[in-house]
Amino acid sequence: MQTLTEHGREIARAAAERHGVSAQAAAELLRALALGGGAQAQFSHPELGGMGQWSRGGMLMIGDMFNNALKARVDALANDLAGELAHGDVLRQPEGASVPGGQGWPAEFGAPASSGAQNDMRYAFFPETRRLAIVRHGAMEVYDSGEHRITGVGQQQGGDQSISFSTAEGPVRLHDLRRLDAPGAGASPSEPVRGDLTTPAPGKAPEPAPEAARAPAPPAPSAVPSAAPAEAPPAAAPRSAGGQGDVFDALERLADLRNRGILTEEEFAAKKKDLLARL
């Protein structure tokens, strides 16, 4: 887990005093916000209602879902801390997440407008050159961000195709961006994806050769199954988000049944435990 810098600890201590929580709780939320690019956070701390999720704009979910006073406190704390992220680095960069060769982000990309980390991945977005650089498992990957202005990384888990980034227009999947061969390269994607076929066309004139190879019957079936699984993972993310909403809706209905005396406290607690286990 990445630790806070001295500047980050000072921010957490000051915010904790302002909002009546411990410095430890404020530090947990600050760390989550930094990893979410200041736009979203996933956290877990008893003083913050247990496991929770916050997004800029008013979305907040905590384990203690019926405690409206605590919700208001956590939301105010999150907004306060998110505003402090622009005043300096709050997370120490782990040695294992450094760019290969001990270098920083490529100088030719310019200054990053947003950067952050999640799990074993670091990222930085460079609006001047429209580049998104990420580092995973000690290797750097570069993507053409196109018209997207990236503000943060999504909270999804899994393989390459499940990674998404927050933008002003909504989330964009890493899978939908054009990957470039090397830092500083403006074209030549290492693996052309569907959206790249028009851009590399001038430099890829010899590509009809693979098309001819696909003409025989044996290669054609192998190409179709390989493409189908690649489309399956992106559809999983929306279902996950919808599932969370269904769980919380169900919990609210159960609470209503309990308040009307239809369910006992024991029945309500058992159902609540079962639903929360699905998150």
Structural domain for 179, as ranges: 95-205
Lowest mean pLDDT among 27-36, 160-169, 270-279: 160-169
Question: 162 or 200, which is more confident?
Answer: 162
Q: How far apart are CA 140 and CA 126, in angstroms?
A: 15
Instruction: Let me know if residue 153 belongs to a domain.
Output: yes
What integer pLDDT is reported at residue 219 of this predicted model? 52
What's the mean pLDDT in 102-124? 72
CA 221 to chain centre: 35
Three-point CA angle 197, 237, 90, nearest 5°: 95
115 is a domain residue: yes
- Specify the pLDDT at position 217: 52
90 vs 92: CA distance, rounded Å: 7
Do 56 and 130 fall within a single domain?
Answer: no
The token duo for 15 is 């915010």
219 in a structural domain? no
Predicted local distance difference test score (pLDDT) of residue 45 = 94
Instruction: Decide: pTM greater than 0.95.
Output: no
In this structure, are 103 and 200 located in the same domain? Answer: yes
User: Which among 158, 184, 205 is the end of a domain?
Assistant: 205
Distance from C-alpha of 195 to C-alpha of 176, rounded to nearest angstrom = 7
Does residue 152 share a domain with residue 116? yes
**Whether 114 and 65 share a structural domain:** no
pLDDT of residue 37: 76
The answer to whether residues 102 and 199 belong to one domain is yes
pLDDT beyond 70 at 8? yes
**Is residue 229 exposed (0-12), middle (13-18) or buried (19+ Cβ within 10 Å)?**
exposed
